[in-house]
Amino acid sequence: MSSVWSGRGALVLTVLALVVAGCGDTGGESKESAEMPAVPAPLQQFYDQQVRWGGCDGFGSADDRFAPNMECARITVPVDYEKPEGATAQVAVSRIKATGERVGSLLMNPGGPGESGLTMSMLGNNTPLAERFDRVGFDPRGIGSSTPTVACQTAQEQDQERAEAPEDNSPAGIAAAEADDKQYAQRCSERTGDEFLAHVGTREVVQDMDVMRAALGDSKLSYLGYSYGTRIGSAYAERFPTHVRAMVLDGAVDSSQDPVQESLHQAEGFQKVFDAYAANCAKQSDCPIGTDTAQSVQSFRDLVNPLWDNPVATTDPRGLNYEDAMTGVRQALYSDDLWKILTMGLSEVREGHGDTLLKLADLYDGRNDDGTYTNTNDAFNAVRCVDDPRMSDRAVAGKQDAEFRRVAPFLDDGRGTGAAPLELCTNWPVPNTSEPHRISVQGLAKTVVVSTTDDPATPYQAGVDLADQLGAALITYQGSRHTVALSADVACVDNPVIDYLVTLREPEEGLRC
């Protein structure tokens, strides 16, 4: 596929450590009411189901490493909530049980869309969260170990696609890119089925979450969501406001933006973080993009542009081409903790090989060490194509491409023509089920939004706007990374977040650190 890039909100916590240091005494506690919210009669069987916990063999991808005390299960939900007597799906969940006096379950999701959330239950080790909550991660419908799964490409097809030379925006290049997108959409239709593709969006996921809440035995939902997980959370709050006990949303997606606006804001965010990386790198005499920050973008382009026609060798026989190099760079910009690795990768390219950037690209694309892939990319496309409106105006596509290059020059390959391919979702086999809108909620408990000033994928202002729409407390973190809560190294965020989740005590107003 060769559509205009839109950054996926991959959770960097899955790349970094999942173990968090203790955060001190929380004081106080909160208990659940035993009374469950009313359930429509046709759905009662799903809400009343018993979760059968067991081992995690057969769950997760080839590279996942689960904690020995983690349990796994699947929860049954209807594919179409308007037809609960019809086909069903199963949502994979993981759990690490509370070690002390239990408040309830804490449901957690890493975002994407398309990311598996099973390892999320390992977040919060050695904190009051581990003592007071059953920590529960889940793979949203169609993703990871949930069944059925969204399936569009085989591992061989994904490797072949990544190996293809990039298309330019000439008429021939645009035609080839759009033909490739049509073939991809057709494969998704054939291999997944249109009925299921039509019901993998946020609209259904939030209803699945309410079924999970009840099946887990909780009268109210406690939830921690990152990146796209904030869209799930805010949509849940909008659909089931009185079912929320506590909710923390970190790295906000602004549901009022259309896909074009979102793409351009992300491009601006990535440029800002690239500039911060370049300034940091310039402090080193051997920085691969030089020590003159005024020339960093040009030096970077001079380094990567030759890969368009001449990939460099890697230990893996695939080599590193232009598209994989750019994917690897974007992955590294998700967190300043990865900047040293990015410098290593760019230095390797300067020397004529590309192992580090290829590994980063594999991480982003969900390629396991054994050559298999998670279905992250397929699920990402399927979810966004039913969540967002279609853009089928060629003039808008061309204008978006030109503006994208202007606001993020480090991503500009210099081959812009004023035209661009229509977006993948233009030819998607099923219609979208959501539209951009501001969230309006009545009867919602106090929630918390965490937003980072230099977040590349979900810009800071989106968090400010989401907090305003939800009437939430806002925690501002000054840094260059995508999401921060429970990352183990920012106590001024972790402490109030954990305290709120356990005791419902709100963070201090205007908290900034």
Which residues are catalytic, by number? 227, 455, 482
CA 199, CA 78: separation in Å to the nearest integer? 10
Residues contacting 293, CB < 8 A, separation 6+: 275, 278, 279, 282
Which residue is it, tokens 């169609």? Answer: 142
Q: Give which of 94, 138, 147 is closest to 116, Cα–Cα.
A: 138
**148 preceded by cis ω (within 30°)?**
yes
Residues contacting 378, CB < 8 A, separation 6+: 114, 150, 151, 152, 153, 188
CA 291, CA 202: separation in Å to the nearest integer? 45
Asked whether the beta carbons of 6 and 408 are under 8 A apart, the reply is no
Radius of gyration of the chain (CA): 22
Q: E strands within 4-80?
A: 71-78
Cross-strand bridge partners of residue 332: none
CA 160, CA 174: separation in Å to the nearest integer? 19
Strands of the sheet containing 473-477, edge to edge, are 71-78, 88-96, 133-139, 104-109, 221-226, 244-250, 448-452, 473-477
Alpha carbon 90 to chain centroid, angstroms: 21
Element (DSSP H or E) covering residue 27: none
Task: State whether residue 414 is helix, strand or coil.
Answer: coil
The number of helices, as runs of H, and strands, as runs of E, in the chain is 16, 8
Distances (CA, A) of 346 to 217, 405, 470: 50, 21, 42
Which residue is it, tokens 């994989």? Answer: 324
Asked whether the beta carbons of 174 and 1 are under 8 A apart, the reply is no
